[in-house]
Amino acid sequence: MLEGPSYLILRDLPSSCEEESKWVYNTRLVMELSNNKRQLDDGKEVAVRKSFKLSDDTQVEEPSDDDQAADQSDLSSLIIQLGRDISINCLLRCSRSDYGSIASLNQSFRSLIRSGELYRLRQKMGIVEHWVYFSCNLLEWEAFDPNCSRWMHLPKMPSNECFMCSDKESLAVGTELLVFGKEIMSHVIYRYNILTHTWASGTEMNIPRCLFASSGVGNIAIVAGGCDQRGTILSSAELYNSETGTWVTIPNMNKARKMCSGVFMDGKFYVIGGIGVGNNKMLTCGEEFDLETGKWREIPNMFPGRSGGAGMTPAPAIAEAPPLVAVVNNVLYAADYAQQEVRRYDKVRNSWVIIGRLPERVESMNGWGIAFRACGNWLIVIGGLRQMVGGTIELNSWIPDEDAPQWNLLASKRSGSFVHNCAVMGC
């Protein structure tokens, strides 16, 4: 058990150890510190009064603000024996899953983690962990860390019945999860912040909308198209900056569209599919937005196409989910829910190639109810078998290569089997 500040003693490493070994060693010391109970000099433990659930068996403790008076640790040093700079470099290499435990040690660690400084430094150093956030029950969200195979249940969203029953979109950007929906008279945005583990009202778009295409990269995200409050199909687009919490209007697309999908690929933003004005069929063209030039380019026949399956009539476009698309290592993939196929986009030929099958135990309603997402180097499919009551949700993954998809079951959980919303956050 940790007793007093003398616990961490910087022992000499063998002279043959490399610099990286020192970081591993020091990081291990930080983790030993976070896995033991810290005590005050008088022998009393620091009170811990709050916790949030990571899994059915794991609790990560988060101290209350009242503990600040009991803990007067020096913010400039963190781990006194290592110094602030080395302490931070150690923490950068710890898993995001451990930050809750580390924050419970004292006010110094808690303030550092809640400030967002660690995530800003991780971004500069190219340290990224991708977590999957999804909702299978209205207003309830789960997070899954595929690196440590750990679950976290988010606080329940604040809302009313109108928002709960409305169409919703979700988007992860920076350290925020944005959920878009409608209340009685207007569109609203709720924002979950991983630094504070809380929900709050988000900044309203310049032109509030629903059923839009969206995607995020780093601290920015773009939304395009959709419908406004009156149901008008939009061609307008906006860029969101999570650092400033502001929306900026960018040039309009060439075609207005709703129920479309968005991805970032090769540093550009793409809009795929959707329903246009005066046309109930899915648009076959895509659009590319170049952030450097600020211009849109229309790409004919970029939509992957759909089939109703053998002996089946394809569903009307208005009844289908937006295209199920994802980008891994700047390669675009699509899922055909009807044929249970995975396709890869050939940029040179502007065509799609069937490469294999979706996982077997995944069902949808015209594409609704499953998630097809990129998660770092993985393609992730989230879904389950439809059941009247309860069910099990499964997360399947595949690292794309030249061969047909070989899906691995990452995790499963007793939950609703219909995925309402899903987003992947990398930070």
Measured between alpha carbons, how far is 58 from 152 in angstroms, rounded to an integer? 9
Instruction: Name, in order, each residue with C-beta under 8 angstroms of 107's C-beta and a sequence gap of 6 or more.
Output: 67, 68, 71, 72, 73, 75
- What is residue 384's predicted lDDT score, i.e. its pLDDT? 83
141, 24: one domain: no
Q: Average the pLDDT over 24-34 and give the result.
A: 56
Share of the chain above pLDDT 90, in %: 57
Assign 325 to helix, strand or coil.
strand
Residue 147 lies in a domain: yes
The CA-CA-CA angle for residues 180, 184, 188, to 5°, reads 25
98, 60: one domain: yes
147, 38: one domain: no
Greatest Cα pair distance, the chain, in angstroms, is: 76
139, 47: one domain: no
- What is residue 35's predicted lDDT score, i.e. its pLDDT? 54
Quote the tokens at residue 124.
């500069």
37, 141: one domain: no
- What is residue 364's predicted lDDT score, i.e. its pLDDT? 82
425, 364: one domain: yes
Q: Average the pLDDT over 43-65 and give the result.
A: 39
Is residue 39 predicted with pLDDT exceeding 50? no
Residue 50 lies in a domain: yes
Running DSSP on this structure, what letter comes out for residue 319?
Answer: G
> What is the per-residue pLDDT across 1-11, written as a single tens digit (0 to 9) for each?
333 333 333 33
325, 415: one domain: yes
- What is residue 21's predicted lDDT score, i.e. its pLDDT? 52
408, 319: one domain: yes
- What is residue 34's predicted lDDT score, i.e. its pLDDT? 52
Q: Average the pLDDT over 139-167 and give the result.
A: 90
Cα atoms in the 13 Å half-sphere on the side-chain side of 149 = 9
- What is residue 234's predicted lDDT score, i.e. its pLDDT? 98
Range of the domain at 389: 131-157+304-427
- 342 CB neighbour count, 10 Å cutoff: 26
> What is the per-residue pLDDT across 203-212, written as a single tens digit (0 to 9) for each?
999 999 999 9
The CA-CA-CA angle for residues 319, 324, 329, to 5°, reads 170
> What is the per-residue pLDDT across 232-266, written as a single tens digit (0 to 9) for each?
999 999 999 999 999 999 999 999 999 999 999 99
pLDDT confidence band for 318 (50 / 70 / 90)? confident
Burial of 391: CB neighbours in 10 Å, binned 0-12, 13-18, 19+: middle
User: Which carries the bigger pLDDT value, residue 185 or residue 41?
Assistant: 185
Residue 98 lies in a domain: yes
Is residue 293 predicted with pLDDT exceeding 90? yes
Domain stops at, among 75, 110, 125: 125
Instruction: Identify how many contiguous H helices and E strands the chain contains and give both numbers.
Output: 6, 26
Share of the chain above pLDDT 70, in %: 78
Q: Average the pLDDT over 173-191 and give the result.
A: 93
Tokens 């109703």 found at: 308
Residue 222 lies in a domain: no
309, 422: one domain: yes
- 151-160, 274-283, 383-392, range with the lowest pLDDT: 383-392
- 154-158, 341-345, 363-367, range with the lowest pLDDT: 363-367
Measured between alpha carbons, how far is 39 from 29 in angstroms, rounded to an integer? 17
Q: Regarding beta strands 140-145 and 150-153, do their DSSP bridges make them parallel or antiparallel, or are they unpaired?
A: antiparallel
What is the separation, in whole angstroms, between the first and last Cα of the chain?
Answer: 32
Assign 118 to helix, strand or coil.
helix
Residue 398 lies in a domain: yes
CA distances to 179, 191, 265, 395, 425 from 375, rounded to whole Å, are 19, 21, 14, 11, 8
364, 404: one domain: yes
Residue 176 lies in a domain: no
Residue 99 lies in a domain: yes
- Looking at every residue in the chain, the average pLDDT score rounds to 82
Domain stops at, among 106, 125, 144: 125
pLDDT confidence band for 55 (50 / 70 / 90)? very low
Domain stops at, among 109, 125, 141: 125
102, 144: one domain: no
> What is the per-residue pLDDT across 101-110, written as a single tens digit (0 to 9) for each?
888 888 888 8
Tokens 């009991």 found at: 70
Measured between alpha carbons, how far is 323 from 230 in angstroms, rounded to an integer? 24
Q: What is the phi/psi pair of residue 163, to 5°?
A: -65, -40
Domain count, the chain: 2
310, 356: one domain: yes
Q: Average the pLDDT over 399-409 and give the result.
A: 94
pLDDT confidence band for 305 (50 / 70 / 90)? confident
- What is residue 280's predicted lDDT score, i.e. its pLDDT? 81
Residue 213 lies in a domain: no
Q: Does the pTM of the predicted model rise above 0.85?
A: no
Measured between alpha carbons, how far is 410 from 396 in angstroms, rounded to an integer? 5
Tokens 């009844």 found at: 319
- What is residue 33's predicted lDDT score, i.e. its pLDDT? 56
- 5-9, 132-136, 305-309, 388-392, range with the lowest pLDDT: 5-9
Measured between alpha carbons, how far is 378 from 370 in angstroms, rounded to an integer? 16
